Amino acid sequence: MNGKMPDLAAYAGKLELYSLQVLTDTNWEQIGKTLLNYISSACQARGCLIGHIKGFMNLGEAGYYYLSNVSSDQETSSRGEGRGNTSKSYLDLNVLVYGIEKFELNDLVSRTTANLADLFSLTYNVQEAHHEHTHLLQIDSSN
């Protein structure tokens, strides 16, 4: 890596995942873990250093799962509470990796999401988060 720290790339997005069939909460948990494993493996193949890949999967009344992956050498971990069946899931996804350009990371996440949808016969919508700037107003309290 020529002695220089590789640049950080970040991805944040919301995925809406839909199944034509009602799936169990454990099926959705496996889908979420598989997506993070896919992203991790694709990053590894690209030569990236993974900072973290995290997700919050909201199943509505059927439960929720927190997902985390920090290395392609380990499976994605999860914790949460499954409470039933549903045909849709909402996944907030955050990816921080070093050694890839942002546009390449966006493409990588897009391709792995499409592969996941094909594998599990899902349809999906993706809304990428855009960075918003917060402006701070300094107030002089000495008056």
Residue 137 lies in a domain: no
Which pLDDT tens digit goes with each residue over 94-119? 999 999 999 999 999 999 999 999 99
Q: Which two tokens stand for residue 81?
A: 């509470």
The number of distinct structural domains making up the chain is 1
Question: Among 7-11, 19-23, 82-86, 129-133, where is mean pLDDT lowest?
Answer: 129-133
CA atoms of 17 and 34, how far apart (whole Å): 13
pLDDT at 8 over 60: yes
Residue 73 lies in a domain: yes
Give pairs for 37-41: CB < 8 Å, separation 24+. 37/69, 37/72, 37/75, 37/76, 38/112, 38/115, 38/116, 39/69, 39/95, 39/108, 39/109, 39/112, 40/69, 40/71, 40/72, 40/76, 41/72
Give the amino acid at 97. Answer: V
Residue 141 lies in a domain: no
pTM of the model: 0.85
